[in-house]
Copies of this chain bind each other. A is one copy, B any other.
Amino acid sequence: MSEMTTEILEQNLGKVVLVRLKGGKSLRGRLKGFDQHLNLVLDETEDTTNVENVKKLGLIIVRGDNVVLISPPPR
């Protein structure tokens, strides 16, 4: 992982990020942890794949190989 990726993720610890997964699932959750495989720990997570039916997932661990992209909140 580039230093910039690490830096961005560290700066966003405790903030709400959007995560797009393979297969089309979208998550929104508070970033609590990560590692170099982009395994993520998110809290207060919502499954926002279907915006008309958002589901609460709470605390989750995401296996990094499912991640397509991670989007921190606008600064």
- Chain A interface residues toward B at CB < 8 A: 1-5, 8-9, 21-23, 25, 32-35, 37-39, 41, 45, 57-72, 74-75
Contacts and interface: CB of A to CB of B under 8 A. Distances in A.
State the main secondary structure of chain A at its contact with B. mixed
B70 A61 contact: yes
Copy tally for this chain in the complex stands at 7
Given A8-B41, A57-B69, 9 more contacts: A1-B39, A2-B35, A2-B39, A4-B33, A4-B41, A5-B35, A9-B61, A23-B68, A59-B75
Name the 7 nearest CB pairs between A and B, nearest first. A4-B33, A2-B35, A61-B70, A60-B71, A2-B33, A60-B69, A63-B67
Given A2-B34, A2-B39, A8 B68 contact: no
